[in-house]
A and B are shown apart, each in its own frame.
Chain A
Amino acid sequence: NAGVTQTPKFQVLKTGQSMTLQCAQDMNHNSMYWYRQDPGMGLRLIYYSASEGTTDKGEVPNGYNVSRLNKREFSLRLESAAPSQTSVYFCASSELTGPYGYTFGSGTRLTVV
C-alpha cells in the first residue's frame, strides 16, 4: 500500500545546481500536484496536472518546471536552485479531477546553500 511515493526524502543543493524531485502514485489517480510548505505560510501550490497530458501553473511556479510522464508519475524540476527554494516539497494525488481530498507523499526536505 505505497500510495504516493516521493524521492529523495532529503537533499542539499548548492545555488545554481539543478535537480528533479520524483513522485509516483499507485492509486490510479487522475490528478497530481506539487506543493511547497514554508513556516507560517502553509502549503502553496507550485504546479498541478488535472489529468495525464496536462499541466498548469499554480500560485508559485517561478523557478520550477514539471513533467507528467504518465498517469503514475509527476516530476518537479529546479533548473537553477536558489536559497529561496529551500522548503519542504509535497506531492499529492487525487482520484478525480475536481474538489476531492488529496493523498500526500511523505515530502522532500530541500536545502539550497
Chain B
Amino acid sequence: QKEVEQNSGPLSVPEGAIASLNCTYSDRGSQSFFWYRQYSGKSPELIMSIYSNGDKEDGRFTAQLNKASQYVSLLIRDSQPSDSATYLCAVSNDYKLSFGAGTTVTVRA
C-alpha cells in the first residue's frame, strides 16, 4: 500500500465550477499535510498547508483535513483555465514529505 494515494484523474471541470481533489494516507502519525500545484514541465509549487482537523481557506482554495479518516482534500472554487495542472498531495513523515502521484485537473472554457 502506498503511503499517499490520490486519484490520478484526469479531472475535467467547466470554467467556474468547483474542482474536488481527494487524498488518503496510511501513517496515522502524520501531522502536516500539503497541496502542491505542478504545471507541465515545471517544479511543484506549494499552494496550501493544513495541520489540524477542519477546513482552511485561502482565496479560491480550501483544504479539508480529517485525521480520524486519514483523509485530506482540496477544493478549487470558481475554477479558471489557469488552474489546469497536476495537484500533488504531500504528507509529513519525520523530516520528510511523502507525495502522492498527483491528480491532473483540466479546466475547460
Q: List A residues at the B interface (Cβ < 8 Å).
A: 31, 33, 35, 40-45, 48, 50, 56, 58, 90, 97-107
Q: List B residues at the A interface (Cβ < 8 Å).
A: 4, 8, 31-32, 34, 42-46, 49, 88, 90, 92, 95-102
Closest partner residue, chain A, to B6 (CB atom) = A42
Q: How many A-B residue pairs have CB under 8 A?
A: 51
B15 to A: closest C-beta gap in Å: 27
Closest partner residue, chain A, to B51 (CB atom) = A99
**11 A-B pairs whose Cβ atoms sit less than 8 Å apart in the complex:** A31-B95, A40-B8, A42-B88, A42-B102, A44-B99, A48-B95, A50-B95, A90-B43, A90-B44, A102-B44, A102-B46
Decide if the interface of chain B is mainly helix, strand, loop or mixed.
Answer: strand
The answer on a CB contact under 8 Å between A98 and B101 is no
